[in-house]
Amino acid sequence: MKFVAKEDIEAPIDEVFARITDFHAFERSAIRRGAEVKRLDNPPLTGPGAGWEVRFDLRGKRRIIGLEVTDFDGPERMQLKLRSEGLKGHVLVDLVALSRARTRLRVETELKPKTLSARLLIQSLRLARGTIEKRLAERMAEFAASLERSPKSPG
């Protein structure tokens, strides 16, 4: 199952890439939403090999997902491998400079079930696809707005 979200952001590609690779900010955001986040790389990396274990509740069950950065080609691309007890997949983040001050952010998430229970989870996600895509689009718009509001770096 694949989810894709796109958002155009009024900011240069380097600023957008710096924000999407601010892993500490994403960790704090996940924790505020009720997840437990454990960093697996020590010392923390900002490229290939960076990894996390994330625990959260979804559909009434405790889920544990491992994430690892596998591709890091700044400022255009980052890919993370996703693994769980019954799922595997990836998250691909692509950036395209539309102009010097405008960037298109595209996030593609693909999940593949490995077990019967994971197939059932994917099926329930398929049924809720519209809601999930709407929520993803809202989060992308919030991210874009927060980036556009943030003070520009000098230079």
SS3 143: helix
Q: Where are the beta strands (DSSP E) in the chain?
A: 2-9, 36-39, 51-58, 61-73, 77-84, 87-99, 102-113
The share of the chain scoring above pLDDT 90, in percent, equals 74
Give the model confidence (pLDDT) of 25-35 as tens digits: 999 999 999 99
23/118 Cα distance (integer angstroms):
27
pTM over 0.75: yes
Question: What residue segments make up the domains of the chain, in order of their start?
Answer: 2-149
pLDDT of residue 154: 44
SS3 113: strand
Residue 70 has pLDDT above 50, yes or no: yes
95/17 Cα distance (integer angstroms):
8
Give the model confidence (pLDDT) of 109-132 as tens digits: 999 999 998 899 899 889 999 999
Give the model confidence (pLDDT) of 36-50 as tens digits: 999 999 888 889 999
Pick the CATH number of 2-149 from 3.90.226.10, 3.30.360.10, 3.30.530.20, 3.30.310.80: 3.30.530.20
Residue 67 has pLDDT above 60, yes or no: yes
